[in-house]
Amino acid sequence: MNKFWIALFATVPIMAIAFFLIGMSKGNGLWLPVNITSIGEEIDHLFWVILALTGVTFFGVEAVFIWFLIKYGGDKNPGKGIYSHGNPKLETIWTIIPAGILVFLALYQYDTWKDAKFKVNAPSQDQPVHARVTGGQFEWRLTYPGADGQLDTADDLEQVNVLHVVKNEPTRLQLRSRDVLHSFFIPAARLKQDLVPGMPNQQMWFTVIHTDDDPSQADVHEIACAELCGWGHYKMRGFLKVHETREQFEAWFQDALAKQNATTEDLGLPE
Ligand SMILES: [Cu+2]
pLDDT tens per residue across span 20-74: 889 888 777 788 888 889 999 999 999 999 999 999 998 899 889 888 888 887 7
Q: Give one DSSP letter per residue of 8-69, joined into a string.
A: HHHHHHHHHHHHHHHHHSTTSS-SPPPP-BHHHHHHHHHHHHHHHHHHHHHHHHHHHHHHHH
Domain ranges of the chain: 3-75+88-117, 127-260
Does residue 216 register a pLDDT over 80? no
The mean pLDDT value of the chain amounts to: 88
State residue 70's pLDDT score: 82
Measured CA to CA, the distance from residue 242 to residue 208 in angstroms comes to 8
Q: How far is the CA of 267 from the centre of ligand 1 (A)?
A: 33
Candidates 3.30.230.10, 2.60.40.420, 3.40.50.150, 1.10.760.10; CATH matching 127-260: 2.60.40.420
State residue 37's pLDDT score: 92
User: Strand 157-160 vs strand 191-195: parallel, antiparallel, or unpaired?
Assistant: unpaired
Better-scored residue on pLDDT, 229 or 120: 229
Of 189, 192, 208, 188, the C-alpha closest to 133 is 192
- Which segment of 133-147, 174-188, 201-215, 237-251 scores lowest on mean pLDDT? 201-215
State residue 124's pLDDT score: 80
ipTM over 0.85: yes
Q: How far is the CA of 219 from the centre of ligand 1 (A)?
A: 24
State residue 214's pLDDT score: 54
pLDDT tens per residue across span 120-177: 888 888 888 999 999 999 999 999 998 888 888 888 999 999 999 999 999 999 999 9
- The pLDDT confidence band at residue 271, using thresholds 50, 70 and 90, is low
Q: How far is the CA of 246 from the centre of ligand 1 (A)?
A: 30
Q: How far is the CA of 232 from the centre of ligand 1 (A)?
A: 8
Q: How far is the CA of 187 from the centre of ligand 1 (A)?
A: 15
Query: By the 8 A CB rule, do 115 and 46 touch?
Result: no
Q: How far is the CA of 205 from the centre of ligand 1 (A)?
A: 20
- Which segment of 129-143, 177-191, 253-267 scores lowest on mean pLDDT? 253-267
Residue 86 zone, left/alpha/beta (φ > 0; ψ -120 to 50; rest) = left
Q: How far is the CA of 87 from the centre of ligand 1 (A)?
A: 48
Residues, beta carbon < 5 Å, ion ligand 1: 182, 225, 229, 236
Query: By the 8 A CB rule, do 189 and 36 touch?
Result: yes
Q: How far is the CA of 224 from the centre of ligand 1 (A)?
A: 8
Q: How far is the CA of 111 from the centre of ligand 1 (A)?
A: 29
